[in-house]
Structure 1
Amino acid sequence: MTARIGIVGAGLIGRAWAIVFARAGMTVSLYDVDSSALDKAWEAIRQSLADLKQAGLIEDVKAPLALIQTESNLQRAMADVEYIQECGPENVEAKRDIYSALEAVVARDTVLASSTSGIAASRFTDHLRHPERCLVAHPVNPPYLVPLVEVAPAPATSEAAVNRSMHLMEQAQQAPILVRKEIQGFILNRLQGALLNEALRLFRDGYVSAEDLDKTVKHGLGLRWSFMGPFETIDLNAPSGVADYGQRYGPLYREVDRQRGDDDPWDSATLAALDKERRERLPSQGLAERQAWRDRRLMALMAHQRSVTSS
């Protein structure tokens, strides 16, 4: 694959995207206005590639690293790129400024995609001359280990831009899904938010400890969800499939849903209590080490999944 990719922002997500595209053989131009951030990014990328090699997920570090160039000048960085992955701040006005700057230096048919976690593309692209080539391509962190990408077009986005983005993500060994209509938070974060909201309420109201809540997902829901989704899960959990499951368990879920209030589960007191329990389990100074452990476990899981036949 010889596509030339531009990445705006050399932070955590920008660095991870650089690995995704370079691993697939694509040339990457990584831009950041801060040259020191580019220096830090280069070393972080090299280390992540070394970890991937050690886990058996890539064969070589030098080959993908050689495909990544860094640049602190936007016009030079984005010259001749076919696709841009923007990884700027989660701020509408900042993104509007970034997209205005990008439109001034790229070709008309260059796809401009944002990594935003929840801002609809129309909110920061409606002022452009060519909003039809703009959309969201929201990854899961880190995207080189968790392959889902939510491709979320705006109403003005062309079918050609959507198709090019979906195809590019497949070529980059990602697992793209199409968000058919604009919605705040897209799909993954709305699902994650529903679980987190209920988890916080159950913790806040004294039904379960933080540790046991995590066990419930880790040793229960998460085992199944690591290789099949919730719809397939319920389809297989009743003798005659999903309609049968709905008849059996729908009344329970409807009643539970009615019991949920519209109160805010993210209040400061709940978060403080949760933080207290988590810091007793994991002091703040151990967070970075535990994050590295998480990534190694994800690598092991990915290596296992690659070793078995997938459907």
Structure 2
Amino acid sequence: MSAPRKAALVGGGVIGGGWAARLLLSGVDVALFDPDPQAERKIGEILKNARHAFDRMLPEGRPAEGTLTITGDLAKAVAGADFIQESAPERVELKQSIFAQLDELVGPEVLIASSTSGIKPTDLQAKMKHPERLVVGHPFNPVYLLPLVEIVGGEKTALEAIERARALYSAIGMKPLVVRKEIEAFIADRLMEALWREALWLVKDGIATTEEVDDAIRYGCGLRWAQMGTFQVFQIAGGEAGMRHFMAQFGPCLKWPWTKLMDVPEMTDELVETIAEQCDDQAGGLGFRELERIRDENLVDVMKALEANNWGAGAVLKSYRASLQEKD
């Protein structure tokens, strides 16, 4: 399956808006359902940043932009769509209701994906007449730049739907990662959650501020993670003897009381306020959209640097750029 002819999006928040930008800037027509009267303004601001990022990422020219329709009528949004991406709030009952409605509005051949960051697709399928065409397609913010999308099938998902989703996301410049077994929170969010727990304790216990925690990542391990994952980084850390030596040397440390992985600090008003104030200080007066623009420009530069070595996210960008040139 190539890129969809028309995509329908359910929900226009940060993730839904990111999907709109990714699809539109890949030349796909998009109809977005969102009852929010501010939806048009919010999507417009996301698109402004996304166009800027795409122009820097694809200086030789991006595809002709798709058309965008925003509506508060779900039936109107999904009419004629051959692909639907749901990005509603993370409430099981709400999503089940949406998928039940979609089942009545579109034919069984239409692929439906959910952006859920942790709900199992089997639970989302519970009220569907055609659950075989539902997959999870979990992206990462900003959707229009980060290539990873986790694809997860439920108990009733057809293998064909997973393969269709894989091909569709690849066609719009993404890196599909098919999760082998259905599990809550999938792969990447489980890893980020572990880091988040430790970070909360470091701030709560007064060991570090939010900025110091972020500095520990962005000046150290985060630079490695941008181009190699945890296992490959540790393999190199093992020297000539590789991962076996690393695990023999550092494996016993896993039994030491270094982590509070399963112990989460209580989200008291005091802790929330401390974190919020430190994050505001860390921003140095920059507003939300300004921080988005800086984030996007840094991401583009990192991916273009990796592209020169045909590595990691840069290899995905290189392949996407080549596919666009083939269409010209």
TM norm structure 1: 0.89
For 1:17, the aligned partner's letter is W
1:81-160 matched pairs, under 5 angstroms = 81-160=81-160
Corresponding position of 1:51: 52
SS state at 1:152 partner: strand
Shift of 1:99: 0.8
Shift of 1:151: 0.7
- Looking at structure 1, the residues matched to 17 and 310 of structure 2 have their Cα atoms a distance apart, in angstroms, of 30
Corresponding position of 1:276: 277
- Select which of 15, 32, 36 maps to 1:13: 15
For 1:19, the aligned partner's letter is A
* Contact persistence 1:145–1:302 (CA under 8 A): no
* Contact persistence 2:30–2:69 (CA under 8 A): yes
* Contact persistence 1:52–1:58 (CA under 8 A): no
- Looking at structure 2, the residues matched to 68 and 261 of structure 1 have their Cα atoms a distance apart, in angstroms, of 44
Note closer, same or farther for the CA distance 1:53–1:308 as it changes in structure 2 (3 Å cut).
same
Shift of 1:181: 2.0
- Looking at structure 1, the residues matched to 177 and 12 of structure 2 have their Cα atoms a distance apart, in angstroms, of 25
- Superposed CA offset, 1:220-258 (max 9, x none): 11010000100111111112222221111101123245x
* Contact persistence 1:8–1:31 (CA under 8 A): yes
Note closer, same or farther for the CA distance 1:105–1:242 as it changes in structure 2 (3 Å cut).
same
Gaps of 5+ in 2: 316-328
1:1-311 matched pairs, under 5 angstroms = 1=2, 3=4, 4-34=6-36, 36-41=37-42, 43-57=44-58, 63-64=64-65, 66-238=66-238, 239-256=240-257, 260=260, 262-268=262-268, 269-282=270-283, 286-310=287-311
For 2:69, the aligned partner's letter is Q
For 2:64, the aligned partner's letter is A
Note closer, same or farther for the CA distance 1:46–1:288 as it changes in structure 2 (3 Å cut).
closer
- Looking at structure 1, the residues matched to 201 and 3 of structure 2 have their Cα atoms a distance apart, in angstroms, of 49
- Kindly indicate whether structure 1 or structure 2 has the higher relative contact order, using CA contacts under 8 Å at least 6 residues apart: 2
C-alpha RMSD of matched pairs (Å): 2.4
For 1:292, the aligned partner's letter is R
Shift of 1:59: 5.1
Note closer, same or farther for the CA distance 1:146–1:46 as it changes in structure 2 (3 Å cut).
closer
Shift of 1:60: 5.2
Shift of 1:73: 2.7
For 2:16, the aligned partner's letter is G
TM norm structure 2: 0.85
Greater mean alpha carbon deviation, residues 207-216 or residues 165-174: 207-216
Shift of 1:71: 3.5
For 1:303, the aligned partner's letter is K
Moved segments of 4+, more than 4 Å:
58-62
- Superposed CA offset, 1:163-220 (max 9, x none): 1111111111111111222222111111001011112223323333333222111111
* Contact persistence 2:137–2:149 (CA under 8 A): yes
- Looking at structure 2, the residues matched to 38 and 100 of structure 1 have their Cα atoms a distance apart, in angstroms, of 24
- Residue-pair matches, total: 308
